[in-house]
Amino acid sequence: MFRPAATGTALGACLLSFALGAAPAPAATRTFSPVAQKRGVLVYELAGVKPAAVRSAHLSSGKRRATVTARKVRAAARAGRLRVGAPRWARGRRGARAASSSPKLVVVTTCSNAGTEYRRIET
């Protein structure tokens, strides 16, 4: 049996959920190892990172973490190489111990296809 009031209400609720329920773009995480480490400076090659897509970044090694500003990572992505001072907890390591525990750069970006219909809706 057809009930216009119930059908209209259900249809309205469904349309409202589509209009208000737009999810933000999913984030992608990229991890980079240093290509050079000398005198307290870490160098990372940022191949394939679009500057406009960078949302945040940090250095990570074990349980330790140090924030790197997104602005600095965006500028480095344009140049292709990031030079950053090593945190105090990452300095002074030598030999195999330095190679195994060197801080990794973790870059959080928007979805790789952020130009498509999955991008964040501006309101």
- Per residue in 40-85, pLDDT (tens digit) is 899 999 988 899 999 999 999 888 899 999 999 999 999 999 999 9
CA nearest to 104, candidates 61, 49, 57:
61
CA dist 47 to 52, 63, 80, 98, 117, Å?
A: 14, 26, 6, 23, 25
Query: Distance (Å, rounded) from C-alpha 111 to C-alpha 24?
Result: 10
H-type helices in the chain, by residue range? 4-20, 70-79, 95-100
Q: Is pLDDT at 98 greater than 70 in this prediction? A: no
What SS3 state is found at 106?
strand
Enter the tokens of residue 72.
């600095």
Q: Is pLDDT at 1 greater than 70 in this prediction? A: no
User: Are the C-beta atoms of 90 and 41 separated by less than 8 Å?
Assistant: no
Return the higher-pLDDT residue of 16 and 84: 84
User: Are the C-beta atoms of 109 and 27 separated by less than 8 Å?
Assistant: yes
CA nearest to 101, candidates 61, 41, 47:
61
Query: Distance (Å, rounded) from C-alpha 46 to C-alpha 51?
Result: 10
Query: Distance (Å, rounded) from C-alpha 59 to C-alpha 115?
Result: 28
